[in-house]
């Protein structure tokens, strides 16, 4: 079994009186793709938000490499190796594809206070930027402003940005949302590949993708974990079927 990177202990988040995340215990292991699924409003995104520091926890703990990071600032968590993408694409729209990744790499490798140097003078930053863009297949679009990219490419660019900080754990919030089938295939291949190098936590509605590339699945329903297991175990779990609209349209069963 691979080493544990991150765990949550009874992690909770309330909005008003509603517990969007309710006593969730999670164990994120290295070199695995772990998916979090559940119907709309199950608390998947909120869970990621609390773990990555976008939202404060109402209760419980987040432990990263055995350190309590529950109330660490976002940029500290990123520096430590926790990276993420967002459900709604969050990139630097007005900057070029190159600069989107370059600034993220610069932030990670340092040099931001070298006010008397030119931006392209940070050699190792350029090299790493190039390597990342080549890896995700956006290098040929490096000069293009991010806001002129196709939607699918913007989603991929966000993954590229989140790779700049050499994450140990990468949270991907619906990376394939709005993508064409061909783009979805490409991005799931990329995610599966990333899962061989780091811990990947995937929130995704496309069950085909989830079932294909996940090593482990956690099912959330009304803020709490109702099931966890391998894709095959989850696909045949009655409680999971019930959670998804009474089970009638629980499609993954037929695909596995």
- Give the binding site for another protein (CB under 8 A): 52, 54, 73-75, 78-79, 83-84, 90-95, 99, 102-104, 106-108, 111-120, 122, 161-162, 164-165
Per-residue DSSP letter, 190:
H
The whole-angstrom separation of Cα 48 and Cα 45 is 5
* Beta carbons within 10 angstroms of residue 165's beta carbon: 21
**Of residues 45 and 165, the one with the C-beta less far from another protein:** 165
Nearest approach, Cβ of 233 to another protein (angstroms)? 33
Nearest approach, Cβ of 71 to another protein (angstroms)? 15
- CB-based contact 46:20 (threshold 8 Å): yes
Q: Classify strands 67-68 and 59-64 as parallel, antiparallel or unpaired.
A: antiparallel
- CB-based contact 201:189 (threshold 8 Å): no
**Of residues 99 and 204, the one with the C-beta less far from another protein:** 99
Q: Which residues pair with 96 in a beta bridge?
A: 145
Nearest approach, Cβ of 247 to another protein (angstroms)? 37
**Of residues 132 and 217, the one with the C-beta less far from another protein:** 132
**Of residues 50 and 207, the one with the C-beta less far from another protein:** 50
The whole-angstrom separation of Cα 219 and Cα 194 is 22
Nearest approach, Cβ of 48 to another protein (angstroms)? 12
């Amino acid at each position: 079994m691979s080493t544990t990177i991150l765990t949550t202990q009874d992690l909770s988040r309330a909005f008003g009186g509603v517990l969007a995340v309710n006593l969730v215990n999670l164990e994120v292991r290295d070199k695995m793709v772990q998916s979090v699924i559940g119907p709309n409003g199950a608390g998947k995104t909120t869970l990621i938000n609390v773990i990555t520091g976008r939202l404060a926890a109402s209760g419980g703990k987040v432990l990263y490499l055995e350190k309590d990071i529950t109330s660490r600032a976002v940029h500290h968590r990123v520096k430590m190796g926790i990276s993420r993408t967002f459900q709604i694409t969050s990139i630097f729209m007005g900057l070029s594809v190159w600069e989107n990744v370059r600034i993220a790499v610069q932030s990670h490798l340092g040099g931001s206070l070298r006010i008397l140097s030119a931006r392209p003078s940070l050699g190792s930053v350029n090299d790493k930027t190039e390597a990342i863009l080549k890896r995700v297949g956006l290098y040929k679009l490096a000069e293009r402003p991010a806001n002129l990219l196709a939607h699918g490419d913007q989603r991929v660019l966000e993954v590229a940005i989140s790779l700049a900080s050499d994450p140990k754990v990468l949270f991907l919030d619906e990376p394939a949302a709005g993508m064409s089938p061909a783009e979805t295939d490409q991005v799931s291949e990329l995610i599966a590949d990333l899962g061989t190098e780091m811990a990947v936590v995937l929130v995704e509605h496309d069950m085909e993708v989830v079932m294909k590339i996940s090593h482990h699945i956690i099912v959330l329903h009304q803020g709490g974990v109702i099931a966890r297991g391998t894709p095959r175990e989850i696909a045949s779990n009655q409680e999971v079927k019930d959670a998804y609209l009474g089970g009638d349209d629980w499609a993954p069963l037929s695909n596995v």
